[in-house]
Amino acid sequence: MSESSKKNPADNLKEAFQKLSNEVKQLGMVLGVKEGEQGQVSQPEPPKNEFAKDMTQEEKQKQRAAKAAEKKARAEAAAAKKAGGAAAPQQNQQKAKEPAPKKEQVAKPAKEQNQPKSQQQQQSAKPKEEKIPKSALKSTKNQSNGAPNREVQFDLQSNTTNVLRTSESEEVVVTPDPPIVPLEDAQSLANIHPAFLTLYSRCDKELIFDLEQLCQEFIRSFKLFLSGFASHSEPSTFSKEFDQAIRPQLTYLTHGGRWPLPYALGNIVRQLKREVLKLDSTSPISQQIEDIHQWLEDAESVNFEDAYRGIFASIEPKLAKTKCVLTYDWCPVVNHVLLESVEKRPDLRVCFVDPELNGRAVKHVNSFVDKGYKCQYTDLKSVGYAIKQCSMIVLGCSAILSNGCVATTKGSIQIALTAKAYNVPVLVVSQYFKFVDKVQSYTRMALLGRENIELLPSTLVTAIVTDIRILAPTAAPAVLKAKALDLD
Amino acid sequence: MVSGDSKNVQTFRKSLETDPNKSTGLAAIETLYDVLKNTRASTAGEFQDELGNAVKEMLTTDYSSTSIRSATNLFRKFISLAPVDITEKTDFSEILEFYRKRGVTFIERVSRSRSLISKYAKPFFRNNMNILTHSYSKVVLSALHEAHECGIEFHVWVTESQPDASGKRMHEALKSLGIETTLVLDSCVGYLMERMQMVVVGAEGVMETGGIINKIGTLNVSIIAKTLNVPVFVMAESIKFVDEYPLNQEDIPETFKYRSSVIAKNNLASEHPEVDYTPPQYLNLLITDLGILPPAAVGEELIKLYT
């Protein structure tokens, strides 16, 4: 063999390797790995075997030599890194990184510009990154072509290992940017009255059990807010000033307007605002404040105590003929009505159905047991048995929509369907302020976000009992008109 | 006329007996108007008490208490709807004068309602139709009469409607008007229904649900019609709208179900009810003097009136 013939195969081999590695690099770039970042995790075996097929003896020798050189280079690289960063012997590594580089380390650009879009992603990737030992988080400062497709790349990386490796001298341990929360800065919170802060956090901690309680607490908070309100304006502009002052409070409660208030509470707020704008601007401010206070007092008594009494009066003749009445989940109105009925008619049997055992309906049971009345208690699984014994279903609700749909706790549809199957009338008790001019939508609500609501179709409801009369669910639009709840 | 009746009851009975075509509701209203004309009350409370007593007396008669109750309630509601400048007047006789005017308007409106219903119902009749009706109803009779007068030929099948066989009366009345008619058994409604094009019934009272209270057997007819997709139309004056919400048959007030004389016997267990309650899902349309309403609209009308 001549020298040229000896050299030529080696050269050819080198060229072939060069080509191959370029291709692989390109592939890596397509897949989101940047040039010059490929790491040194060696995966020598599979490629060697693959190529060994076509290799001559000389080539094998050459390869062995290359391998030795690579080992040496790796050792050098390690030493260089320990020293604080020597240039990585990229050329020598090329053979070793022939297998698809996407399986190797994944790079992450160190210098992330704080683009708002990437914040979200960063937050989502944060927990993963934290699991990786920090020593593995190494990054480079200068990436030749890292910037352009950073976001795409990031997505890919989050699925693979998050090792950041570089051949650069600088070694940076990347700590992910802190998650950026829309934190209310101190100034914006300073404008919120403590009563509303308390209300909000009580909701957040799920200390508020139902809509009724929420509305009552809101009115109470609003009274505190009103009593602490210091006006800086003339009596003639007071209503405008006060209206402006309410706004940030409501924005705070609704997460910056992201979620609507629960519909019934929204009704109260709407009526309240209307009342504020209607204030007599000629009377002194103290009188105007007194007017609002009076309205709140009235709202509290009319919508709750008086309404409870009225609802009981409406439903009493219907309950008078029933032997056993069933209710589902917890509702203070239902509780009041049933307690009063049992008080008047001790022979009335009452059955409480709970979504799950020891759920919210236990409150009903406790209220009955406290007063020494008998009652039955079961969970949703045995509703078929329970309904067979009953001659009337009474349900509470969160809202009544204008198409007659009733927003009630999840599981009510099961109750109503079973009731329909057994020909048992389903009554829904509701105050007037729960009628809303909305159709078929019940999204996540502010304050009671975790409340489980479903829409009970009007065909499954026999009647709605309000404090003045019993009406059909289809008559909801007439109620909205009569009570001026449909106006904005 | 029964001796020992009060003056109001006598007026009421006389009004119904002299004009057999008069509806119970209208007669009741006329009786109240009579009270209004002759009253010497000096306060609104006193006057309302007088009216209340008259209603109570009328309810002791055996005429449909559903109709009496609905008509008198609406009359009392209607006459007292007064503008503020009237109600603030100190002289009660002036207020009474206003009430009388309103009363006359109301009676006039009510007496027109039957012809209005006939007018609205006319487009529903077609030549060679088979129409089923239950029991005796003056409104239905006048509507059928008017359609026939216009030259529409149809065949009316009338159920006997026991126990009082009021269907026989209807059958006779239709025959005398020259309308083709057949008297059938109550129990053959199912057999006949497939050949019917529509069912027309009257009502003693239209409930807030949009359902009706009518002669017993109406529910059977309506359910069979619904099953066989035959439309059921109810003809009723708006004075028959009652502020009552029955949940099921059991929930119908007893005063609606039995005659006053029967209730007085205090032995309802052995009595047969006079009426049944047909829920709105079995009815297609209500033809009233306010227009043609779907059952669901009745509740809305009543809420407008009473809220």
Strand B275-278 to B205-206 pairing: unpaired
Instruction: State which residue of chain A sits closest to B253, comparing Cα positions.
Output: A317
Residue A149 lies in a domain: no
Q: pLDDT exceeding 90 applies to what percent of chain A?
A: 26
Q: B40-46: long-range contacts at Cβ-Cβ below 8 A with a sequence spacing of 24 or more?
A: B41/B92, B41/B96, B42/B92, B43/B92, B44/B92, B44/B95
B182 SS3 class: strand
Residue A126 lies in a domain: no
Residue B166 lies in a domain: yes
The predicted pLDDT at position A82 comes to 58
CB atoms within 10 A of CB B216: 20
Q: Are residues B179 and B239 in the same domain?
A: yes
The predicted pLDDT at position A80 comes to 60
Which has the higher per-residue pLDDT, B28 or A14? B28
Q: Are residues B59 and B192 in the same domain?
A: no
Report the alpha-carbon distance of residue B242 to residue A415 in Å, rounded: 30
ipTM, interface predicted TM-score of the complex: 0.82
Mean pLDDT (whole number) for A354-381: 92
Backbone φ and ψ for A126, nearest 5 degrees, come out as: -55, -50
Contact between residue B166 and residue B135 where contact means Cβ atoms under 8 Å apart: yes
Report the alpha-carbon distance of residue A101 to residue B12 in Å, rounded: 103
The predicted pLDDT at position A86 comes to 42
Q: Between vectors from CA B148 to CA B143 and to CA B149, what angle results, nearest 5°?
A: 95
Which of A81, A100, A119 finishes a domain?
A100
CB atoms within 10 A of CB B77: 13
The predicted pLDDT at position B185 comes to 94
Q: Are residues B256 and B122 in the same domain?
A: yes
A466 vs A310, A343, A427, A437, B40, CA distance in Å? 7, 21, 10, 17, 38
Q: Are residues B93 and B141 in the same domain?
A: no
The predicted pLDDT at position A57 comes to 61
Residues of B in contact with A479 (CB under 8 A): 303, 307
Which of A100, A121, A139 finishes a domain?
A100
CATH of residue B294's domain is 3.40.50.10470
Does pLDDT of A145 surpass 60? no
Strand A406-409 to A426-429 pairing: unpaired
Query: Which segments in chain B show pLDDT lower than 50?
Result: 1
pLDDT one-digit tens code per residue, A428-487: 999 999 998 888 666 777 777 666 788 999 999 999 999 888 989 988 888 888 887 766
Q: Are residues B138 and B284 in the same domain?
A: yes
Mean pLDDT (whole number) for A118-141: 45
Kindly state whether A469 is in contact with chain B, defined as any CB-CB distance less than 8 angstroms. yes
Q: Are residues B126 and B215 in the same domain?
A: yes
The predicted pLDDT at position B91 comes to 77
Residue B2 lies in a domain: no
Does pLDDT of A276 surpass 60? yes
Residue A105 lies in a domain: no
Q: Range of B43's domain?
A: 7-113
Q: Are residues B42 and B95 in the same domain?
A: yes
Mean pLDDT (whole number) for A133-157: 44
Which residues does B contribute to its contact with A (CB < 8 Å)? 208-210, 243, 245, 247-248, 250-251, 280, 296, 299-300, 303-304, 306-307
Written in H, E and C, the secondary structure of A218-243 is HHHHHHHHHHCCCCCCCHHHHHHHHH
Maximum separation of any 2 CA atoms in chain B, in Å: 66
Q: Are residues A338 and A262 in the same domain?
A: no
Tell me which of B247, B286, B298 to substitute to probe the interface with A (most A C-beta atoms closer than 10 Å).
B247
Domain count, chain A: 3
The predicted pLDDT at position A200 comes to 86
Closest CA to A432 of A392, A471, A488: A471
Mean pLDDT comparison of A40-54, A57-71, B196-210, highest-scoring range: B196-210
Q: In chain B, count H helices and then E strands.
A: 13, 10
Average pLDDT of chain A to the nearest whole number: 75
Q: Are residues A329 and A445 in the same domain?
A: yes
pLDDT band per the 50, 70, 90 thresholds, residue A6: low
Q: Are residues A376 and A297 in the same domain?
A: no
Report the alpha-carbon distance of residue B158 to residue B171 in Å, rounded: 6
Q: Are residues A384 and A478 in the same domain?
A: yes
Q: Range of A440's domain?
A: 314-482
The predicted pLDDT at position A282 comes to 84
Strand partners, B291: B288
> Lowest-pLDDT range, A32-46, A408-422, A458-472, B66-80?
A32-46
Q: Are residues A353 and A464 in the same domain?
A: yes
Domain count, chain B: 2
Which amino acid makes up residue A335?
Answer: N
Q: Are residues B144 and B107 in the same domain?
A: no
Which of B91, B113, B135 finishes a domain?
B113
pLDDT one-digit tens code per residue, A96-119: 444 444 444 444 444 444 444 444
Peptide bond before B279: cis, by omega within 30 degrees of 0?
A: no
Q: Whole-model pTM above 0.95? A: no
Contact between residue B47 and residue B260 where contact means Cβ atoms under 8 Å apart: no
Q: Are residues B87 and B19 in the same domain?
A: yes
pLDDT one-digit tens code per residue, A319-360: 888 899 999 999 999 999 999 999 999 999 999 999 989 988
Residue A156 lies in a domain: no
Residue B150 lies in a domain: yes
Residue B31 lies in a domain: yes
Closest CA to B67 of B256, B262, B274, B279: B256
Report the alpha-carbon distance of residue A225 to residue A195 in Å, rounded: 7
Which of A100, A116, A143 finishes a domain?
A100
Q: Are residues A11 and A49 in the same domain?
A: yes
CB–CB contact B296 A462 (8 Å): no
pLDDT one-digit tens code per residue, A291-328: 899 999 998 898 899 999 999 999 999 888 889 999 99
Q: Are residues B168 and B283 in the same domain?
A: yes
Q: Are residues A433 and A396 in the same domain?
A: yes
